[in-house]
Amino acid sequence: MRIAIGCDHAGFDLKPTIKNYLIEKGIEIIDEGTYSSESVDYPEYAKKVAIDIISDKADLGILICGTGIGISIAANKIHGIRAVACSEPFSAKLSREHNNTNILAFGSRVIGSELAKMIIDVWLNAKFQGGRHQKRLDQMTQIEKDESLS
Ligand code: RB5
């Protein structure tokens, strides 16, 4: 399992805790920054992690900003990315089972590190259920391909 991780300055303090937690589980980490608490723009880090997934350098991604919102919206601009901003385990589980999310986003100003770890565990252990859910993902892929919308 390879996970790409990225954050902005707001997520910088939480990133090492998450990173070490995943390393302890034997997961290979690609750390796309940011690497200091200096103010940066979250779309850059969302894009790096999203491209790691799309180019098959990583299997999944974790993104952290202040709320998890901006960084997940930015990641979802990349075709093939299904990012969820999550602050509780129920949505994290269903986001995998029904939506096959490939990026989990957190708000460092919303949740603490122990809740983040719990959400990660639930997210990683949940399995996409396919079937009627695959049909809906296919419809989303078709929306991405539909040039008449752009
Ligand atoms: C940065 O101040 C903050 O706007 C960002 O981390 C994030 O919360 C945006 O959605």
Whether the CB of 10 sits within 6 Å of ligand 1: yes
Residue 19's pLDDT is: 98
pLDDT in tens, 27-47: 999 999 999 999 999 999 999
Q: Is the pLDDT of residue 150 over 90?
A: no
Residue 147's pLDDT is: 79
Give the position of tokens 């954050």: 7
The helix/strand count (H/E) of the chain reads as 6, 5
Residue 44's pLDDT is: 98
How many of the other CB atoms lie within 10 Å of CB of 116? 24
pLDDT in tens, 85-142: 999 999 999 999 999 999 999 999 999 999 999 999 999 999 999 999 999 999 999 9
Domain map (residue ranges) of the chain? 2-149
Task: For residue 98, indicate whether it is catalytic.
Answer: yes
Compute the distance from residue 108 Cα to the ligand 1 centre, in Å: 10
Task: For residue 133, indicate whether it is catalytic.
Answer: no
Which atom belonging to ligand 1 lies closest to the Cα atom of 9? 6
Query: Burial level of 93, CB count in 10 A (0-12/13-18/19+)?
Result: middle
- Please provide the CATH number assigned to the domain covering 2-149: 3.40.1400.10
Query: Burial level of 62, CB count in 10 A (0-12/13-18/19+)?
Result: buried
Residue 73's pLDDT is: 98
Angle at 97 between CA 5 and CA 24, to 5 degrees: 35
Which residue owns the Cα nearest ligand 1 atom 4? Answer: 66
